[in-house]
Amino acid sequence: MKRNFKAHWVAPTLREFKRRKVIEEDRSGGPKIFHRSTFLEWNYDAEIFAFSNRLGEKFDDSSLRAALTHKSYIEREKARLSDIGLDSNLHFQDNEALSQKGGEMMSKFINGYLRAVFTQVPEELISAMHDFLTSNSTLETVAKHIGLGDLMLCADFPCKTETYVKSFKAIIAALAESSGEERARIFVQDLVVTQLYGQDVNELWNPVDPVGNLAAILKREGKAEPEFRLIRQAGSNSILAVYYVGVYSDKHFISEGAGESLEIAKEMAAREALKKFFHTEDSMRALPFGRQLKNIQSKIEQLENQPNLPFSEWISEKVMSAVH
Amino acid sequence: MSNSHLFLPSGFLRTPLQNGLGRYIPQLQRITLKFCKNHGGSRGVRDFIESDLMEFAKTNPGTVVYLKPRRHRSPCMVAEYLNGEREYLSCHEFSRDEVHKWLSYMCTRSGIPVMRFRKYQHTDYPTVQGVWNPFTHQAPEINVAEFPHGVLSKPIDHGQTATEQLIEIFKKTQIEDPVNKPSN
């Protein structure tokens, strides 16, 4: 007999099982999913121990457990116990306060990093990058990939985005309580800020009216007003026309931009000039992460409460030179 | 020569959550070792559990190890990763060293499914100086040039043709006309 021999009735039986399963899943709206804690092999204490070791951090046990407990879970447990008739004075602490504190700390740390790395950038771009890093989708991805999905105690399953985000922020606050603000800062830099890698920062924020703003900046600096000259062109009578426009100030070349029409090319040239001023061109220096931040941690801490210049007042003399 | 006949999916190198950029997080979340306490096929797994498992658990504190003794079942290990993927491996009739080897293999993987790497490097920033376009390194004089142009229409490194070289040689060797020479 062949190794993969099966009796004649096996295949039809399995086919029928599959058919019934598909009907049942369609009726109930999706395949059945089970929380990992419903498995026989589950040890919450061991999972929490592994969680802190995985991240390389030391947590206070009570802070960590509080950070992972949600109000909905406590309410559900209280209701369940009172239904049975037991006295429901549970000693659980929820993560509302921790999450609030953690959210503020995370914003502070992110702003500190951005202002220390992007010293020449206006505050509008800093806040655009900060909003991207603290958006729900980014934080949910980070929280899921740390392993919070199985550890959180919450009433909703599959867990909602807000639950993940709340837990993650509470974890940051718990870490600051347990190991100090320094460790929490490094934690945020290692996990949240690294999500900026590979993201084009110029897609996050675009200055409105780049031509007018460029003229304003040059005027503030006391330089000649920008002159736009056509540098290259090809195919002007066709659909695939391309125009290269260069920006000159007092006959000094600043930047060039390309576009399908003269107006587009002019705007792109002004945008490139602004990118050059802010040091956010495509060829800008690589962002520092991890150990490369060791020397500028004090600078980051200093700049957490010091916003950059707003776009309307931007002038190159007032911004610091690059730190890293 | 081609890879289209392979059912193995292909892709580029990637890592979950920019792992390693900030800090390295071991991606193995938990591992479940299922074995039989009596059957001979689980002998290697039982020997591994008795001798090497504690050391493994100490060196990988970020991984939860679950042991599941199940009678009359062949041994297996199920690895669960932080991105939700699961890896099943049957350990039937493995030796103790083989179990150790496969366990350390599971440790070093991220949960991304096994695939054929199209390239062994990856970058999100392929160009620093900018991608070449036909206008790169072009002389600005072409903007106001009337073609055919004396210099720009010709190849850059033309050099003298044989005819022009002969004309030059002829001019050098020509005897000067005594009529045109100023009389001393």
B89-148 residue pLDDT tens: 999 999 999 999 999 999 999 999 999 999 998 888 888 888 999 999 888 888 888 988
Query: What pLDDT is attached to residue A324?
Result: 54
Asked whether residue A290 carries a pLDDT value surpassing 70, the answer given is yes
Closest-CA residue in chain B for A146?
B82
Closest-CA residue in chain A for B15?
A145
Which residues of chain A lie closer than 8 angstroms to B135, CB-CB?
232, 234, 244
Residues 6+ apart with CB under 8 A from B118: B10, B11, B12
Helix residue spans in chain B (DSSP H) = 43-51, 53-59, 96-108, 162-173
DSSP A94: -
The alpha carbon of residue A242 is apart from the nearest alpha carbon of chain B, in Å, by 11
Closest by Cβ to A53, choosing from B30, B62, B129: B62
Q: Is B66 exposed, middle or buried (0-12, 13-18, 19+ CB in 10 A)?
A: middle
Chain A with chain B: Cβ pairs closer than 8 A = 84
Strand ranges inside A143-235, DSSP E: 226-234
Condensed to tens digits (0 to 9), the pLDDT of residues A58-72 reads 999 999 999 999 999
Mean pLDDT rounded to a whole number for chain A: 92
Query: What pLDDT is attached to residue A184?
Result: 96
> Distance between CA atoms of A196 and B63, rounded to whole angstroms?
28
Query: What pLDDT is attached to residue B183?
Result: 54
The CB density around residue A83, as the number of other CB atoms within 10 Å, is 9
> Distance between CA atoms of A136 and A138, rounded to whole angstroms?
6
Q: Which of A54, A229, A275 to mutate to test the interface with B (most CBs of B within 10 A)?
A: A54
Asked whether residue B178 carries a pLDDT value surpassing 90, the answer given is no
For A36, what's the count of Cα atoms within 13 Å in the CB-facing half-sphere? 20
pLDDT-derived band at A153, boundaries 50, 70, 90: very high
How many helical (H) and strand (E) elements, i.e. helices and strands, does chain B have? 4, 6
Q: Is A91 exposed, middle or buried (0-12, 13-18, 19+ CB in 10 A)?
A: exposed
Mark yes or no for CB contact B22/A142 under 8 Å: no
Which residues are paired to A89 by β-bridges?
none
Asked whether residue A318 carries a pLDDT value surpassing 80, the answer given is no
Domains and CATH numbers, chain A: 43-197 (1.10.1520.10), 203-286 (3.30.160.20)
Closest by Cβ to B25, choosing from A55, A193, A231: A55
Can you tell me the mean pLDDT for A204-209?
91
DSSP string over A290-321: GGGGGGGHHHHHHHTT-----GGG--TTTSPP
**Biggest CA pair distance of chain A:** 92
Condensed to tens digits (0 to 9), the pLDDT of residues A109-146 reads 999 999 999 999 999 999 999 999 999 999 999 999 99
Six-digit token pair at A121? 């950038």
Condensed to tens digits (0 to 9), the pLDDT of residues A169-182 reads 999 999 999 999 99
Residues from A in contact with B at Cβ < 8 Å: 40-41, 43, 46-47, 49-51, 53-56, 141-142, 144-147, 149-150, 189-191, 193-195, 197-198, 230-232, 234, 244, 282-283, 286, 289-290
Domains and CATH numbers, chain B: 10-119 (3.40.30.10), 144-175 (no CATH)
Query: What pLDDT is attached to residue B100?
Result: 97
Query: What pLDDT is attached to residue A321?
Result: 66
Closest-CA residue in chain B for A41?
B66
DSSP reduced 3-state for A230:
strand
Q: What is the ipTM of this complex?
A: 0.87
Amino acid in the structure at residue A54: R
| Confidence (pTM) | 0.87
User: Of A25-34, A37-46, B156-165, which one has max mean pLDDT?
Assistant: A37-46
Reference B21, options A145, A308, A102, A176; nearest CA is A145
The alpha carbon of residue B175 is apart from the nearest alpha carbon of chain A, in Å, by 51
The alpha carbon of residue B131 is apart from the nearest alpha carbon of chain A, in Å, by 11
